[in-house]
Chains A and B, each alone.
Chain A
Amino acid sequence: MLDIVVPIKQVPDLVEELEIDPSGTALGLERTRFVVNELDDHALEQALLLKEKHQAQVSVIALDVGDVEETLFMALAKGVDQAIKISGDFGPAPDNHTTARVLKDVLGGLSHNLILTGVQAIDDLDGQLGILLSSYLDLPYVGLVSGVQIDEGGSKATVLKELPGGVKAELELPLPAVLGIQAAEQPPRYVPVSRVRQAMRTATIEERSAAAEGNGHIRVRRISKPQVGAGAELLEGSSEDIAEQIVGILADRGILR
């Protein structure tokens, strides 16, 4: 039996303008809207594709950060077998070292022979979670994966990586293993609202708690929006005004006649 575990997390939704916390060292999360990290959604899709192919058991686990229940119910509606929410004193925005240690704890009590997670998340662009998990669990790791095949016996995986310059690489690794997913073999599926609502009524999210031991020893000194540098000219006004200004500039520079 193939047991797939998909650790996912929520990240700020960029449809809203981001605010910076008065401390200047974090995002202002009070009014932030959260959305599932896109690559984690791809990891989930890849897990569901493998489930359809190999009758695998899929569990989704997430630290209780943001509106994670929404994402977990959506995963349940998509057909995962188990959804686990982990609570603990890791704060509202744990870094990947903290997250990996918490996940390691929970994974200890969870049967797993394939761990799929998004290769990175937009809130830190760190790309360390899969690597850290694999070293804590002493498992092989491949990142930036865009296709996964499992052999009949479930003992090894063949994964696809797209390298720069139009080259593809196929890698083989024994299971259990950790994979950092860049893209699922098909776009994440749509799950109808009625199924999500149905899941909210009938399915349950399991709760676990885990201790957060230490962190990555990295301290955020400052978070800020880009400063307007010298020589840059900001165009202001309605989109039509701006379009007209751009046309004017291009004409001035002799690009348009």
Chain B
Amino acid sequence: MTVAPPAKSSKQAVVVATYATLAAVPIVAAALILAVGTDLGDAGREVMWNIAEWARFLLYASAAVLVIVIAYGYYRRYELWRLGKPESRTDNWAERLKAFLIYGIGQGRLPGDLYASVMHLFIFWGWVVLFIGTAMLTIHDDFYHYLTGTTYLGYSLTLDIFGLLALIGVGMALVRRYLMRPPKLRLASLWDDAVLLWLMLAILVSGFLVEGVRIAATELEENPDWAGWSPVGWVIAKVFTEAGAGTGLLQDIHQAFWWFHIPAALAWIAWVGYGKVAHIVLGSANIFTRRLSPTGAQIASAALQPITDFKNPGVARLQDLTWKQLMQVDVCVRCGRCEGDCPADLNGSHLTPMGLIQDIHNYMSEVGPRLVAAQRKDGQEAVAGERTIAGDLIPADVIWDCFTCGACEAQCPFFVEHLSFMVGLRRRLVDEGTLDTQLSDTLMGLSRYGNSLGQSEKLRGRWTEGLDFPVKDVRQEPAEYLWFVGDQASYNPAAQEVTRAVARVFNKAGLDFGIMYEGEKSAGNDVRRVGEEGLFELLAEDNIQTLGECQFQTIVTTDPHTFNALKNEYPAYGGQYRICHYTELLADLLENGKLKPARRLNHRVTYHDPCYLGRYNGVFDTPRRVLKALGVELVEMGRSRERSYCCGAGGGHLWMQETGRGERPSENRIREAVALGGVQYFVVACPKDVSMFQDAVKTTGYEEEIAVRDIVDLVEEALEVEVPEREATGSPRESASAMEV
């Protein structure tokens, strides 16, 4: 199998190279110093040269005031977060510290947008090194004299280089904001985003000017050997001396720049307590308190605990969110990465994950302080400007637009958990009855018949009638594997053929398996995602009871959604099982020789990661191992693995009217696959995907170019010895129901 290099790896390489460059700077500086020799022993500079002594005290007094100003900024937000419900996010410190190091200090969630990554790395490391440099200087000046000789020169070179990098980064940011203007930056604000950026430019430029003028006045003539260790300063010094500035003038200019530089820097630091730069602290805090489990286990978060307050379910007020959720809305820096792979955003729905977080943030900033004041007075009186979050602040159609695919969460550099908001908001809407009639019909059907297709439960096992061997009823006799088939795979004619293929392959591998027939009900994964918590509980309780009456060792599921619910959500209701997805079982059977492919397949295919298998549960490699064992050529789409693009059926959308106003996500995905060039098969591992993408292939008119096939279909093909006629032509395999009329 040859894997075409995904577009991402080149970006990663550049980011790695950027890191390497940054790390190399101090090493190179140290090496140079060692090489240049020893006669620079008395190198150094007078700290606060040319500045009145009282300015030093003013500076330190300002620093003390700054600490209070910043602390007050956080205290004000902290008071707002305390409006929220409790939630425990401080367990497992070691793991949390590791997350902080990787994703905070290490900027581990940067790769994605190359330009923005380099830009941010330059600014980040520039600022970090300049901050450390300033702190070192304070120690040197006030406590322990050590920045002399080669140490000083190395220090000087390193700071100059990082200052320059920061300058380049800020320049890149300005170019991006004013010339490139990517649409995701549309929520940028004047004060918090634009002014702040210009302030950073001013701080860097004025800092270099202060340095340059000082060098022109004190070093260029007397110690020219030292001056070269501040390359940027040296260039500026040269400019000033070439222009013929005398010492007196240089001293005046120096003071002017200094008195501009210092207040500008102090103002920026004060901002750390208030505006966008607060993400240095808030981002770190949010990364530290992030959900450690995979997305699939998110319901374990307190935000989505089962409903206990039946009079008041879901999210109506700020107080219905947890402190962690409230903190998250303050973390967002409007970078817009969450929108990049969002199917709702791309198909022209009203929802954008960034807009959701920002709307709640702005609302909290406006109304939150009044709620805090009202709580202090212990009064229950209405607070001016208070709105219901679900349905009013965030309109119902926006809440229903979400596919719960998790692409936003996978992208957020600070691990904002958008989905925890979505499900809470939907619970409220469901309680109020603000839901699509098609969805409410489906939910009624689910509560009556236990399946989302509104069919009789007696028909659940009818797909087995197309097999030439019986399938065990695991309620009657024990089996090693209990196959939890799922609604779509059981009832949907488009998926049933795949379901039978799974059964045939299991049978061929000699697997001891059985199904629960009409005893099985929908696992309820998407019922929970649409916010019908009570129905989810009912389904879970029924399934757990039936499963309890069966004898088996492992559950295997066809549907990744079912897989997610059984694996991550049933334990809270007393259902603890060994669970695997059929792709995992297929990989095992192929690797331990229970399934022996009769031939290698020569197809060129691409694989679509189902959201609830990949992003939600981290099963990325196993299906690819299956494909590898079959010998097919796998070509990866740009959006694969964590970035996989939702088919548009998730989060209950299979049961709703289409909400999008633009291209369907599934069609967008098929175009992406076709654009790879020469890919015969679009391989899926989810029954919903089969019908979603088969439709999309038809509506996009790519029936000649590409065909949708379930992974098990390829496995079965590889097990057949003879080469069927239709394969020899290399054209996409006709589906069984296709007819030429």
Contacts and interface: CB of A to CB of B under 8 A. Distances in A.
Contact of A190 (B313, B430, B449, B741): B430
The SS class assigned to the B binding surface is helix
Contacts of B737: 240, 243
B739 interface: yes
14 contacts: A15-B448, A187-B440, A190-B430, A190-B433, A192-B532, A192-B533, A193-B447, A194-B310, A194-B533, A194-B537, A240-B736, A240-B737, A243-B737, A247-B739
Contacts of B741: 247, 251, 256
Contacts of B435: 190
Contacts of A196: 534
A238 B437 contact: no
Nearest to A35: B448
Contacts of A244: 739
Interface residues of B, number: 30
Interface in B423-478: 430-431, 433, 435, 437, 440, 443-444, 447-449, 454-456, 458, 466
Given A15-B454, A16-B458, A193 B535 contact: yes
A54 interface: no
A189 B534 contact: no
A23 interface: no
Given A16-B458, A192-B532, A194-B307, 19 more contacts: A15-B449, A15-B456, A35-B448, A189-B440, A190-B430, A190-B433, A190-B435, A190-B443, A190-B444, A191-B433, A192-B430, A193-B532, A193-B535, A194-B313, A195-B431, A195-B534, A196-B534, A197-B538, A243-B737
Contact of A195 (B310, B454, B466): B310
Nearest to B439: A190
A227 interface: no
A251 B740 CA distance: 12
A256 B740 CA distance: 11
A198 interface: yes
A190 B440 contact: yes
A256 B430 CA distance: 48
A196 B535 CA distance: 10
B548 interface: no
B522 to A, nearest CB: 13
Nearest to A14: B456
B493 interface: yes
A192 B535 contact: yes
A244 B739 CA distance: 8
A243 B437 CA distance: 31
5 pairs of A and B residues whose beta carbons are closest in the complex: A194-B534, A193-B534, A190-B440, A193-B535, A189-B433
B423 to A, nearest CB: 14
A57 to B, nearest CB: 21
Contacts of A15: 448-449, 454-456
The listed residue with most A CB atoms (<10 A of its CB), out of B433, B449, B535, B737, is B433
Interface string A234-256: 00001110011001000100001
Contacts of B736: 240
The listed residue with most B CB atoms (<10 A of its CB), out of A191, A193, A195, A243, is A193
A213 to B, nearest CB: 35
A192 B538 CA distance: 11
Contacts of A238: 466
Nearest to A239: B493
A238 B741 CA distance: 19
A189 B435 CA distance: 9
B739 A243 contact: yes
B655 to A, nearest CB: 12
Interface in A210-237: none
A86 B533 CA distance: 33
Interface in A1-36: 13, 15-16, 35
A243 B535 CA distance: 37
Interface string B391-424: 0000000000000000000000000000000000
A248 B463 CA distance: 25
A198 B307 CA distance: 12
B447 A16 contact: no
A189 B441 CA distance: 10
Nearest to B308: A194
Contacts of B430: 190, 192
Nearest to B437: A187
Interface string A20-58: 000000000000000100000000000000000000000
Contacts of A251: 741
Contacts of A190: 430, 433, 435, 440, 443-444
Contacts of B466: 238
A244 B738 CA distance: 10
A168 to B, nearest CB: 23
Interface string A179-208: 000000001011111111110000000000
Contacts of A239: 493
A161 to B, nearest CB: 23
A192 B736 CA distance: 40
A244 B741 CA distance: 10
B433 A16 contact: no
A137 to B, nearest CB: 32
Nearest to B307: A194
B535 A198 contact: no
Nearest to B539: A193
Contacts of A192: 313, 430-431, 532-535
Interface string A51-89: 000000000000000000000000000000000000000
A72 to B, nearest CB: 16
B142 to A, nearest CB: 64
Contacts of B313: 192, 194
A200 to B, nearest CB: 11
A196 B433 CA distance: 13
Contacts of B455: 15
Interface in B533-560: 533-535, 537-538
Contacts of B534: 192-197
Contacts of B538: 193, 197
A236 to B, nearest CB: 13
A239 B497 CA distance: 12
B712 to A, nearest CB: 19
Contacts of B532: 192-193
A240 B455 CA distance: 19
Contacts of A194: 307, 310, 313, 431, 533-534, 537
Contacts of A197: 534, 538
